[in-house]
Structure formats: structure tokens, C-alpha cells
Amino acid sequence: MTVRMPIQVMSPDLALKIAAGEVVERPASAVRELLDNALDAGAKRIAVEVEDAGLKTIRVVDDGAGMPRDELALAFRSHATSKIRDLDDLQRLSSLGFRGEALPSIAAISRVEVQTRTEEEATGTRFSIAFGEPAAPSPCAAPRGTRITVSDLFSNVPARRTFVRSLRAEGGQIAGVVMRHALAHPDVQFTLALDGVSTFSSPGSGRLEDVAPEVFGAVTSKSMMPVFREEQGIVVEGIVGKPNLSRQNRSLIHIFVNGRSVANRSLIFALTQAFSGFLMSGRYPVAAVHLTVPPNEVDPNIHPSKSEVRFAREREVHGALHRAVEAALTEHRFGENRLEPVTTNGDQPSSADEQIPFGLLQTLDQVQAAIPEIRAMPALRIFGQANATFIVAEGPSGLYMIDQHAAHERVLFDRFDAELEVGDVSSQSLLEPAPVELNPGQIEALEVNAGLLKRAGFDLEPFGSDACLVRSVPTAAARTKVGDLVSEVLTELENLSEPGAARERALAALACKAAVKAGASLDVEEMRELVTQLESTARPATCPHGRPTMIHLSHTQLEREFGRR
């Protein structure tokens, strides 16, 4: 029999801890809130130091305006804020924070010490609060700005602590938060140290192009181009990857609204749609784009994380973003003297001489619609090779054009899948272990999928806070550049919506890097062997990424094209 409990008001302590769980889901959430406060204080230099992924210590030091001594204790009371006074202020909000929840929420589940001084004060003030219990403020020596230290996070709420991922993965999440803030505010200098090791630094020059190499890497940032458009009071500016740069997921699409990083599906859709016709299906661009919208036309009060926004003129904002990116892509396309190679670090060519004619991209939807009709391959007679990319063959019912890279991908994917199933993937040790730099998402993917990668022939181990050491790779991919191989496989494993997709993604990336490339000349025997192997696969019509491996031109189609029908 169920015993009914009487309705009663929760104690203030319990209510605060529950509310804190909404604001501070993980250490990275606390870092985000503290960075928002520093930026709202006008800081131009912000240093973040973290120990044990924030569970032991989070320290944020800024050179902002500081907090007056007589307001310091008040700042840690629920719903105390300097950002708004009444509901109308939400209609013209220019700050990142506004609810007055961050500091009391953090203080309810940790030990906090603040040292701060304003320009007008001769000495600084030290204030500490432990799990919601404040101590008396005291004077201290301090430069202008604020130094806030958070210790023992979640130690009084063990349930929350158990849901924190591994320290390395959580450190990667914190790095991601700092990097997004650096992209959102290129005029501010950010530094990050994880367990005493400097892992990130942005110049604070005010130019997004100077921050990009620190976030995306030097090679990637060189393949990005500027975007700018102003219409109807909406300004769009930033950088996006050229069509020869793409990823398997949306993890490198960063959109900011009035200096706030947002996760808005409609905005991401508008941006990716602008790349329609430039990227293959299932590939996504790299981007860091800022939208400046009148504050009274944006509502950030949607979600506790303040990462979701609502627009008064949603259609106009989405249209401005789409047109800005589309214009940049069009200008780039017609500014080139040659066809743009479609390079995706995935299932498409990966060097400047591996080109797919633009016209093929325009007709890919029609081609893919016809491809599923091919259930099995007939015996083919090889004629030769076109453009060192396509194998030309004849079958009983017409001509076949076979993409050698896509076909080899399918062959290797099926082989790797079968070997992995029986635990028979061979690996080759490197003469010397090779270090490979990783971004936060790749670091997390490495930890989460360590067992799968080991079974797939990789021997990888953490190396510092932002790299791994490669000791061996699958034998089939031994001739591939180690850094590119590991980076691509881990990128494919980032942000998977379905855990079961990890195996397929990893094998698809491995097959892609190991497969023969477009632009590679093959002799007749090599072409015949590849086609024979493709015939023996279960799904010869598509590569593991869904691209067609072949195009079939029937005798009827040929006769019609030549006017014989």
C-alpha cells in the first residue's frame, strides 16, 4: 500500500540545491556562467585554471570592473543581479547573464572564494561562501577585477557528481566552452590551463580570423572565407569553410547572436542549406558566424543555459544568414579559375587534384534516386579509366561508370566489418609512437570508444591534455598519414546521436582513408580486381557514407541520347 506524504514547502537549502542542478549541470556549466559574468563586467583578459576537470578547482581571473565591497555578499543571494531592474529590461538586454541564479547556484554546491576590487576602491575585498553558508568579507590586496575560485564542486550532492563523465572528457567540455567564448568575443584574450598545463590561448586582437587557428587549427582556418551582410537591421559576419572543407557532423558549426553562443536548429538549417549544391549529402560545413540583431527582437529567456533564443522576426533573421553565406559561396565559386575540388576529410577526395565536376553534384539527387534499383552487379567487361577516377565498363544492359574510391570504400568497409566481427583485425606497430593533437570532442570520443578503437586495430593512449599517442594502426591503413587517419576516425565518432552507430562510423572513416583515391591511375588488372571484389559485397551500389559507387546508362538511355529512339 502506498503511503501518502503530505504536501509541504521545501526548505530553502533543498530548493536551492535543486535549482542549482538546472543551472550547473556539470563543471563546464559553472565555467560558462563565470565567463559570462567576467564578460558582462567588461573584462578584456580572462584566465581560466582548472584542476581535476573542475571537480577540485575552477579559477577564473579577469580584469573587469570588479564588484563593490558592499554588494559582494548580495551577489550570492538568489535572484540578485545588476543586469535588469524590471521586465521591460528583458526587451533591451545586452548582457549575457540576467537571472541572478549563477553565483548562488554555484555557491550552494561548492566552496567559493572571491577576491575583487573596483577602480574606485583603494583595497580589494575577500569573500568566501561554503555550500551556501557565507563568511564575513575582509580586506585584501587585489588588482582591479575579480578572481573567483570554486572548489569541491558537487561534493555535497553526490548524486550529481556520479553523473560527471571522466576527468579527461569533462576537461574537453570545459575547453570547448572557453573556445566558444573566444570565438564569440575575439576582442577578449582568453587563456586556459588544465591541471597546470596551458592548453588554449586566444590573442584578443578583435579579429575572428586570428582566433580561428587556435580553435579550428591552422590548416582548417586557411580554408575558411569571410562572410558579411547587413539587411533590415540585421548584421551577419564571420567565417565559413570553403566547399573543400566539411565534416560528418555539425560539431564545428558555431553561431552567435549578440555575442551569445546559441544552439538554434533553424539557424543551423539556414546555414547548411546555403551549402546545398556545394557539399555532398550528409556533410556539414565548418563555420563561426555572428548575428547582431536589435536586442528588443531577441528573447534569450527560453532555457536555463540561455543557449536557445527566439526571434521576433525569425524569417528575416534566417533569410539574412542564408543569403550571407550563399553570397560568400557564390563569390568564391566564380572567383576560382578552376572547378572546386570537393574535399571532405571523409568519403570524398582529399587533395587538390582529386576533383569531382560540379555538374555531378547538381545531379546527385537524381543519380541516388536511381541507384537503389541496382541490387546485384552483372558480369562486367572493363574498358578503362576516365579522369583517373572512374572505371568504365560494359554489362549486358548497358554502360557502367564506377567511382573507384567509393567502390574501394565499400569493399574495405565490408572486409573490416567481417574481421571486426570475428576479432581478426590486424594492426601494424609504428616505428616510433606518433603524437596527434586532438580537439575536445575528439578527446571525448577517444575515451568513450577506446574499446572499439582497440578492436579495430588502433593502439591509442592519452598524451597530455590535448593529444594522443599512436602506437599502432590497422594494417590496411598503414600507408595513410597517421595524424589524418586518427583525426578523421575520432571526428566521425564525435557527438553520435545513436550509440550503436559508433562501429559503423569508425569503420566507414577507416575505409575512406585506406581506399584508393580519385586521381590514382590503375591498370586493367587492378580495375578488374576491384570490380570483382565489389561484385562480392552485399551492397555494391553505395559506399558506407551512402554515395553511389556506380552510374548505369542502359542501352535504351544511350539510344535515346543519340536520337535512335
**For residue 18, what pLDDT is reported?**
59
Alpha-carbon distance 288 to 209, whole Å?
A: 10
pLDDT (tens digit, 0 to 9) for every residue of the chain, 565 residues total?
A: 567 777 776 676 666 555 555 568 889 999 999 999 999 999 999 999 999 999 999 999 999 999 999 988 888 887 767 665 555 555 666 667 656 678 888 998 999 999 999 999 999 999 999 998 999 999 999 999 999 999 999 988 887 777 776 788 888 889 999 999 999 999 999 999 999 999 999 999 999 999 999 999 888 899 999 999 999 999 999 999 998 888 877 889 999 999 999 888 889 999 998 987 777 767 889 999 999 999 888 887 666 556 678 888 989 999 999 999 999 988 887 665 333 333 334 333 333 333 333 333 333 333 333 333 444 567 788 989 999 999 999 988 889 999 999 999 999 999 998 888 888 888 899 999 999 988 877 888 898 888 999 999 999 998 887 889 999 999 988 888 898 899 889 888 876 655 567 888 888 888 988 899 888 999 999 999 999 999 888 888 888 877 789 888 888 888 888 888 7
DSSP states along 198-259: EEEE----S-HHHHHHHHH-HHHHHTEEEEEEEETTEEEEEEEE-TT--BSSSTTEEEEETT
Contact 40, 96 (CB under 8 A): yes
Please report, for the chain, the start and end positions of each structural domain, with discontinuous segments joined by +. Answer: 12-202, 209-335, 365-552
pTM of the predicted protein model:
0.67
Q: Is 209-335 a CATH 3.40.50.620 domain? A: no
**Cβ-based neighbours of 366, under 8 Å, separated by 6 or more:** none
Look up the CATH architecture of domain 12-202.
Answer: 2-Layer Sandwich (3.30)
Contact 204, 300 (CB under 8 A): no
Contact 104, 17 (CB under 8 A): no
Q: Which CATH superfamily is domain 365-552 in?
A: MutL, C-terminal domain, dimerisation subdomain (3.30.1540.20)
